C-alpha cells in the first residue's frame, strides 16, 4: 500500500488546483490521459483494437478484464509496474512505451512539485480510470 500512498500524494500535489481531488475527478483526468497516451494501441473502449494495434508484431491486450484475470481483484501493483516501466521488471522487448520516463521528462512544475510527483500522479489517474472500466 505504500506505493499507492505515495502515488496518491503525488496525484494530489500535481493535479489538484485546490486541496481536494475527488476520485471522480481523478478518473476523469485518467480518461483524458488514456485517450491521449493509450487509446492509439489499446483502443478508445480499451478492447485492444486501437489503430496502431495492427502495426505491432504482438497482439495488444484488452484492458477490460484485468480484474477478471486476477480473481476479481484489480491488480494495482501489476498495472502500476506495467504502465510505469521504469523498474525494468517488464519483459525485454515489450511494445509498451515506458510511461514513467516519458511523464517524468515532460513534466513541468507550476507549484514546486517534482517531476517524479507529476509522473506518479499521471500514472495514478490512469490506474483509477482503468479500475473504473473493469467488467
Q: How far apart are CB 42 and ligand HEC at their closest, in Å? A: 5
Cell 487509446 belongs to which residue?
39
Q: How far apart are CB 38 and ligand HEC at their closest, in Å? A: 3
- Residue 78 CA to residue 132 CA, distance in Å, equals 16
Contact 105, 98 (CB under 8 A): no
CB-wise, 58 or 112, nearer to ligand HEC? Answer: 58
- Cell of residue 90, nine digits: 517488464
CB-wise, 6 or 134, nearer to ligand HEC? Answer: 134
CB-wise, 50 or 113, nearer to ligand HEC? Answer: 50
Cell 505504500 belongs to which residue?
2
Instruction: Kindly list the distances between the CA atom of residue 60 and the CA atoms of 66, 72, 106, 119, in Å, as whole numbers in the listed order.
Output: 13, 21, 25, 24
Binding site for ligand HEC (CB under 6 A): 37-38, 40-42, 52, 56, 58, 60-61, 63, 79, 82-83, 90, 94-97, 99, 126
CB-wise, 63 or 111, nearer to ligand HEC? Answer: 63
134: closest CA among 46, 86, 65? 65
Q: How far apart are CB 130 and ligand HEC at their closest, in Å? A: 6
- Cell of residue 56, nine digits: 505491432
Q: How far apart are CB 79 and ligand HEC at their closest, in Å? A: 5
Amino acid at each position: 500500500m505504500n506505493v499507492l500512498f505515495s502515488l496518491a500524494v503525488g496525484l494530489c500535489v500535481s493535479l489538484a488546483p485546490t486541496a481536494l481531488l475527488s476520485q471522480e475527478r481523478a478518473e476523469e483526468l485518467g480518461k483524458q490521459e488514456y485517450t491521449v497516451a493509450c487509446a492509439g494501441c489499446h483502443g478508445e473502449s480499451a478492447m485492444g483494437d486501437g489503430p496502431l494495434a495492427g502495426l505491432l508484431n504482438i497482439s495488444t491486450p484488452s484492458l477490460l478484464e484485468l480484474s477478471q484475470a486476477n480473481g476479481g481483484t484489480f491488480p494495482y501493483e501489476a498495472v502500476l509496474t506495467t504502465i510505469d516501466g521504469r523498474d525494468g521488471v517488464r519483459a525485454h522487448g515489450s511494445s509498451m512505451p515506458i510511461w514513467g520516463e516519458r511523464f517524468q521528462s515532460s513534466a513541468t512544475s507550476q507549484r514546486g512539485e517534482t517531476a517524479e510527483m507529476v509522473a506518479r500522479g499521471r500514472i495514478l489517474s490512469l490506474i483509477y480510470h482503468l479500475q473504473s472500466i473493469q467488467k
